[in-house]
Each structure stands twice: as C-alpha cells, then as structure tokens.
Structure 1
Amino acid sequence: MKSLSLFALAAPAQAALRFGCSTLTIQRLDPIVEPGGLPSAHLHQIVGGNAFNATMDGDVGERGSCTTCTFSEDFSNYWTAVMFFKHANGTYKRVPIMQNTALPNGINGGMTVYYTQQDFNSNGNQKITAFKPGFRMTVGSPTTGSLSDAKGHIGLRFVCLQDKGTRFPELPDFPTKACKGGIMTVHHFPSCWDGKNLDSPDHQAHMYATTKEAFAAAGACPASHPVRMPQVAYETLWDTTQFDKLWPADGSNPFVLSYGDTKGYGTHADYLFGWKGDSLQRAMDDKCMFNACENGKPLKSQNVAAMNKCAVKTMVNENLDGWLHSMPGQKM
C-alpha cells in the first residue's frame, strides 16, 4: 500500500473512506463459511456491529444496536484469522493487535477499513454501487498451499513494519526475520459484482477481482461482473515485537495463523455488509475523503469510547490468553 500521506494529496471526484474499528470479539465463529457452527474450525478477530452471531441472514444493518466502527451507521462485520507465536517448546501465545497510527488514539485493537473507488488514481471515474442488504463475500483461502499460488492472490499481503507508517515491501508470506515495528496483514476484496447474487457457494464467484498491487487503479470490470462496487480493504497491525527475543535460533518463522498456517499463504478475510439504510451509497456519492466524511458530512460518527464499549457475548467459551498447549480448534 502507498504511504497514507500520499492519499491526502489526491483530489478525488468522489468519497474514499478510511476508518478504524475496535475489536468486537475474538471467537471461533464464522457465519459465512460455517453458519451455525458453535464453534467454527478456527479463531477469528471480528470488528463491527453487535448483531454478529453464528448465523446471520437478512438485513444486518437493521438489527445492530451498536458498532465498534467510527461510522455509527456501519453495522457490517469484518474478520480475519488470528496470529499466534509458536514457542520453541511447542506452546502458543496469541499476538496482540495494535491500532494504526493514522487513527484516533485509544482504539482497542481492531483494524483499519477502507472503502475506495477503483482505487485512488482514478477515483470517481465510474458510478459506485453500494452493497445490498444480505451481501457477503470472502477473499483468499486457508487451503492455499504454495508460494506461487499466494503470489497470485493480488492484494493479500504481509508488511514487515519498521514503524506503523511502513507500507513496503508487500510480501506474499510471513517475513523471514523479526520486524522492528510488528507485522501488518493486508486484505483487498474484489470490487466487481455480477449484479444478481448476494452470495455464492464458495462466497467468491459472485465477485470478480481486477485489483492491482498497493492501491493502484483497478482494471475494468468484465461483462460477467459488470457492477463496480466499493473496493473494500483491511489493514491489521500485529504487535509481534514482544516475541523478538524468542525468535528461533535457526531463523525459521515462529508465527502461525489460527488455522495452522506457518507460511501465511492462506491468509484470508470475510466481509458481511451491514450499513444502515442508504448510508454507504450516500458516502460513495459524496466528495469527502477519510475523516472529512465524519460528523454528518455525510456520515454519522462516534468517539473512541463508544467504539470500545460495543461488544457481543462470548458464545464459545475457551481459553485464548497466556501460553497454550494448542491453538483453539487445532489438535495438539
């Protein structure tokens, strides 16, 4: 991704959203891939609206009463796999999440979410159609098993941070050395819709990616998926620095994603739309940029205290903290 400071120099024709969402919950739940599963196969960190549950159908935006995101009309849910550190003795510890330096102080973990338009280099050239109630999608796959396949998943990357402002180079797998400022995971979703289906059996076929690396302008949508929708992207910053002195002597990577991936090839993310009413469409039709879209211009927003206060109950009761003999859901 480009340095965030460069974005401020752009003069977009229409809105681009960048905002923080604090952590809603960390649980083994996945209402898209494993609806009804209590628990799901592996652990996720989830942000967004408090309607989140093991099963989610219909208009989520009409059911939530609070959200952990900056925009108080956004009851969508956004989630990714959790990162763990594996000690030489075989135990695991969950890696904590840091807030992005571009966001207000005090956000409890979570992630940075973007809704951009094709992306910034040609912002606003096309009509952007907001997602519909009931819409959902995933990007990436935990079954990706090779570096070449991981490289083919454009926009799913790792960044070895020197500080929280580092954005290059983008890597298709875990960094091979300790990172001074932690590790960032990046997930870009496809933005071309078939115009018909709110979901598909694999949760991906109804969408088509013309994404290019690092927020470069995306390609044109194909005839099979002609509707240009917002480009959704996540940035998650993992505070790996507390494990620097525990890095293996042989230099092997000690980090693992919660479904057992020690390479990072299968990094993936899920999105479930839940903006209230026409709020997202109003934003996409506007001319605001980042925090200029807050405070009713055109979107309602809330302070960090309100974001951090929103939560959901624990539905899968298992130990997630301290040194664990195995990751939740993974066999010893």
Structure 2
Amino acid sequence: MKYSLYSLALLAGSAALAPHAVFAADAQINVDCNFSHMKPDDPILMPNMPGMAMSHDFVGNRSTDAYSTVDTLLQHSGTTCDNAADSTGYWVPTMKLPNGEIVHPTYIKNYYQANKVIDYPITAYPHGLQLLAGDHAGSGPNPHVNFLCGNGNGYTHTADQICGLRAAGDAVQFNIAIEFPNCWDGNNLKAKGTKNAVYSTNDQCPADHPIKLATVNMNIAYVLPQITSLDVSKIQLSLDPKMIDGKLTEQWGSIYTAHGDFMNAWTDQAARFMADRCMNYSMDCGTNIPYSYTDAKEDTYVSNQGDSDKNFGSAQTLLVQDDWSGAGRDSNKQMMALMKFAIPAEPTNLADYPGVSFKYKIRVYDGNITDTAAFSIFFYPLSNPSQTWSENAVTWNTMPKPNYNADGSMYMNNVQQFRYVDVDKAVRAALAAGKTEISYYIGGERHARTISVNSKESGKAPTLMLIGYQEVVEP
C-alpha cells in the first residue's frame, strides 16, 4: 500500500516517516539507513579537500569521505542501509540542539517515488550521478524541505513548532524531509558548477532537463530521549567553516539551511531493476530491489493434455495445471511450467557486508485464471539437476523428471501480478555442487485450476534475484 503524506504523518508518534509527497506515489521503493559517521568532508562540493567542509552526518556507504567517487563507493560497498544493493553516499549537515548538544540522525528513510510513469516513465539512475537538494544559504521556508514534530500536526515548511514527547512518551522525535530534483540534463553527472538536475512540473520534465528520474525523498529522523521539548526555530545546522585569525572556525546556520547530498552508488543492475522492472510498472516494490539478477535463459511449459509431443518454447504465457485427485497425479491431466536460470554471483567483497543476509528469490508474473480462489503453487527442482533441456525441443514426453519435494511455494490469487518465492536453500545447494545454472518446474495447486505465468517472451520475464538485506531499527 502507498500512503499519502497526511496519513503517514498521523503515525509519526510511533516513529513513522512520511514521504514528502502530497499524494500517494504511483510507484515507489524505500530504503532505511542508520547513521554511519561524521566528517567535515563533502566529496561533491569540496572533493579531495578533507576537513575543509562543514561537518556532515553520513548515512549509507560507510566509506564516504572527501575522496569518494562512485567507483570507490562501489569498491568499498559496505552500507548502513537495509538494502545491500544501495551503497549510495547520503549526507546532511550536522545538527546542534538549542542547548548546544550535537546530535546525529537516528535513521534516514529514503523513499524513491514517481508519478505518471505510464505517460512519463523514469530512467535508471546513471552511474555516479550526484544530486543536491535544499539550500545551505537558506534563510526562510523552502518548498522542497519540510519539518515534522513527532507529536505535531504534520509536515510544514516553517520552523515555528515546539516538539514535545511523541505518543510513546519516550523521546522527542524531529524529522526533516528533503525532496531531491528528478529531471536530469542527460550530460552532467557532477553537481558542482552545474545545474545538472531540476524539479519536474506536474511530473513532466522540461526540454533542457529531459531525463525523468525517480524522486529521492530523504526523511531524516532524530529520536532524542534526552530532552522533553524542542524549539525547532532554535535548532542550528553546520555551515562551511571560515578562516578567522588564521584559524579554520566552524559556523552554524538556522534550520532553514537544511540540505542533502546524494552520490549514486546503487549497483547498476539494481538501478535498472528499480526503474525498468519496478517503478515503470507502477509498483511499490518495498525492499525487493536485487543486488543482481538474471532473467530466465529458457522457459516453456509441457502438457499431457492430448499434446504430449508438442513444444511450447515460444509461448508468451506458460500454463500450469495439476490434478492430484482420485487415482493421483500421474493418472490425471497436467501442465507444468519449466524455466532455467544462470545463478547470479554473490559480491566478491562479502566482508564489506557484515550483518547482511543474501537470499535468492524467483520473481514471476502470474495469477489464477480459473476462478477467484487463492492457494499455493509449488516450485519443484529437477530429479537430476545435471539433465539438460532446451525450450525449443522439450515436450511432455522428453521432459526431465521433476522432484515433487518442493523447494518453495507461493501463495497467490486471481490477480495477475509479480510475486516472489524464496529458493535460497536450493540455489546454494546447486552452487555447492559446482553448478552455475538451476532449473525449476512450477506445479499447480493440485485441484485442476489453471495458472498463467508470463514467459521471457512476454516482456515480464521470470527472474532469479539475489537480494541482500539487513534490519535497520527505527526506535
């Protein structure tokens, strides 16, 4: 479900963070990140100048510093974000409370959103794109920056709030929401010295910035159990230091200087999947953006319904039907989908991902086409995993034998949509046996209903995904 700003803001007392959008987005994913480190560095505006920038709080990539580039971020890809495919560097100015205490974000929730994707589809983030949002010289409200007290009445552009304890009574929670521009000029990856990105108007990009991207809505949460109230107008944010009497001296500005920096370091496959396989389908993919993936190399279905010698290798729709009633499966009519995948490799630098669980999942686009019932279907391995087959030759009479001990099951209904099934255990067993490919049958719900599954020829190919995930706590 995708929520409006108002409905999510009502949940703020329980630590929910709302995307900065007036209406629910047509498409979105979300990424939660914990605080990583503080440094007086800025690899976008002051590259290769360590210690010369304002104090920044970094989340996401743990290695971000003055020397960072997209290549170093991907080389040192350890991240505080829940999705391991996102090694992006995100940073914001350090915050000082009215009592002088320095505080850091407890976590940041980044919503990637897009509207009107059917008319104006988005493009994947280019490798190394830099984006800036907000105004480090701001002196008043900014339409792309919002503030929220966890016990308040919703997001506002103005700093005229007193934050009390949130509903749980355990802390003051203060959120800053920063919306990044979403129209790229198609040429400039670097933000310094350029206006490489601007904001869309009614979700359409101008001619001089024609490339529409997903909008990054950075929602920064400060959970502060050490205080009972917070005057937002008296918050200070770090500014670039000045040389005073030969000494580099820190500077501070008002809450209206809030801003954010973004240096894209999603894996290239993840960035393409986000745009082309998720958001341009008007989907909310949550955290199901893979580190890497492969589409089915081959897929087909086999049938013993009077066509045991027929090959269906070019079919756009794969049909599945099982009937285990009466005398049993082998005495009844059957159709089974068959698909083969190359196995995506795990990262070579696994040591950079402490706490991350990498799992293999298959995504298929399917649904019950017999009636409105919901039920489970099953993913069966081959009895002999080494047996070869070809989508343009295999028939019911020549098919490799399935092993009816299912590696996974998927609960589904009559809605045609993408669904996911965990096949991690089986894929890892194949890898341990030296395999680089894995094949699966999809069997039905055993009561003769028919299921349709889109094939690779349909444009919505079955996909084997490697997803890396770690829990980010939102206290």
| TM-score (norm. length: structure 2) | 0.50
Note the C-alpha offset of 1:60. 4.5
CA spacing shift, 1:286–1:299, aligned 2, 3 Å: farther
Matched residue, 1:242: 226
Q: How many residues align?
A: 266
Matched residue, 1:283: 274
**Alignment counterpart, residue 148 of structure 2, candidates 159, 176, 199:** 159
SS in 1 for 2:268: coil
Matched, 1:258 2:238: yes
CA distance in 1, matches of 2:467, 2:30: 14
Matched residue, 1:197: 188
CA distance in 1, matches of 2:179, 2:57: 17
Q: Is the Cα–Cα contact under 8 Å of residues 173 and 264 in structure 1 kept in the other structure?
A: no
SS in 2 for 1:3: helix
**Alignment counterpart, residue 94 of structure 1, candidates 81, 97, 102:** 102
Matched, 1:135 2:129: yes
Matched residue, 1:321: none
Note the C-alpha offset of 1:244. 3.1
After the TM superposition, which of the residue ranges 255-264 and 130-139 deviates more from structure 2?
255-264
Matched, 1:115 2:112: yes
Matched, 1:85 2:97: yes
CA spacing shift, 1:159–1:226, aligned 2, 3 Å: same
Q: Is the Cα–Cα contact under 8 Å of residues 73 and 89 in structure 2 kept in the other structure?
A: no
Q: Is the Cα–Cα contact under 8 Å of residues 178 and 241 in structure 1 kept in the other structure?
A: no
Q: Is the Cα–Cα contact under 8 Å of residues 61 and 75 in structure 1 kept in the other structure?
A: yes
Higher relative contact order (CA 8 A, sep 6+): 1
CA distance in 1, matches of 2:82, 2:118: 23
Note the C-alpha offset of 1:139. 1.0
* 1:21 counterpart letter in structure 2: C
CA distance in 2, matches of 1:195, 1:60: 23
| TM-score (norm. length: structure 1) | 0.70
CA distance in 1, matches of 2:149, 2:31: 22
**Alignment counterpart, residue 75 of structure 1, candidates 87, 93, 99:** 87
SS in 2 for 1:86: coil
Matched residue, 1:44: 56
CA distance in 1, matches of 2:66, 2:234: 31
Matched, 1:304 2:471: yes
After the TM superposition, which of the residue ranges 187-196 and 234-243 deviates more from structure 2?
234-243
CA distance in 1, matches of 2:466, 2:213: 18
Matched residue, 1:311: none
SS in 1 for 2:271: helix
| Identity value in percent | 22
CA spacing shift, 1:184–1:30, aligned 2, 3 Å: same
Matched, 1:180 2:175: no
CA spacing shift, 1:77–1:200, aligned 2, 3 Å: closer
Matched residue, 1:206: 196
CA distance in 1, matches of 2:126, 2:238: 30
Matched residue, 2:404: none
